Amino acid sequence: MSGDDIRTINWKATTRKSRLMVNQYQDERSQQVYSLIDKGRVMQMPFNGLSLLDYAINACLVISNIAIKKFDKAGLLTFQDKIGAMLPASRKNNQMAVIQEVLYHQKTAFRKSDFSRLHTHIHSKITQRSLLLLFTNFESLFSMERQLPYLKSLSHRHLLVVIFFENTEMKSLLEEPAGTVKEIYYKAIAEKFSYDKKSIVKELNQNGIQAVLTTPEQLTINTINKYLELKARNLI
């Protein structure tokens, strides 16, 4: 065997070893990113021809694709009164195709969402610390506080981000001048809704839970920005 042949063999072996080391490093560095999609009746509110659930599904597709390109593992879980689909986090080549196929078949029964069941399922099935992006909706501080014990428990083991929606109709009422008694009454209601939404963010933050309050049309970009922010801060 000539010296050139030996050098070629050594180069191939070194290249193969380097690739294995890079792949191993990327796998060790990759984090699990789960999109948790609430399919309950709170997500059926329409906006510009789509439901909040539709917006959440679209955001899930985009953020999953970005996570995989950032060498993280993307997973999926849907729920309402019971657990719907559960797709373990992965960055395999066909993961996006699988996520898209699973989301295509997600339907709602317009039932009340069971956060206790969600908590139990995650506790048993997602054992590695992960980023949990919870797409849901809370219209009042009281409705969030009923679920807070489950959210706090999830945040102790994972990095939880609760993503919920501004009431755009109420926001429009706040921006309009009120001239009649009826308009003043409606504006007072809108102010109460707006106050509650901001209070939900504050309450979640005080309990160590990340929160994103967004309009439906800004959901995807705000979810991406939060993910990139957490990556930049080395929180995931």
Contact 43, 137 (CB under 8 A): yes
What's phi and psi for 45, nearest 5 deg? Answer: -60, 130
pTM: 0.84
> What is the C-alpha separation between 143 and 28, in angstroms, rounded?
39
pLDDT given for residue 48 in this prediction: 86
Contact 75, 89 (CB under 8 A): yes
**Which amino acid makes up residue 100?**
Q
pLDDT given for residue 192 in this prediction: 75
CATH, domain range 31-232:
3.40.50.410
Q: Picking from 97-111, 123-137, 147-161, which range would have the lowest pLDDT averaged per residue? A: 97-111
Answer with the residue of higher pLDDT: 34 or 49: 34
pLDDT given for residue 179 in this prediction: 61
* SS3 assignment, position 89: strand
Instruction: Collect all residues with Cβ–Cβ distance below 8 Å to 129 and sequence separation of at least 6.
Output: 32, 157, 158, 159
pLDDT given for residue 51 in this prediction: 93
> What is the C-alpha separation between 36 and 78, in angstroms, rounded?
6
Share of the chain above pLDDT 70, in %: 78
Share of the chain above pLDDT 90, in %: 68
Pairing outcome for strands 130-135 and 73-79: unpaired
Q: Decide if pLDDT at 125 tops 60.
A: yes
> What is the C-alpha separation between 56 and 37, in angstroms, rounded?
7
For the chain, give every domain's residue range. Answer: 1-30, 31-232
Q: Decide if pLDDT at 171 tops 80.
A: no
Task: Tell me whether residue 104 is exposed, middle or buried, using C-beta atoms within 10 angstroms of its C-beta: 0 to 12, 13 to 18, 19 or more.
Answer: exposed
pLDDT given for residue 194 in this prediction: 79
Contact 38, 80 (CB under 8 A): yes
The pLDDT tens digits of the residues spanning 41-93 come to 999 988 888 999 999 999 999 999 999 999 999 999 999 999 999 999 999 99
* Beta-bridge mates of residue 76: 35, 87
pLDDT given for residue 193 in this prediction: 74
- Please give the angle made by the CA atoms of 169, 175 and 178, to the nearest 5 degrees: 100
CA quadruple 164, 168, 170, 176: dihedral sign? positive
The pLDDT tens digits of the residues spanning 88-114 come to 999 999 999 999 999 999 888 889 999
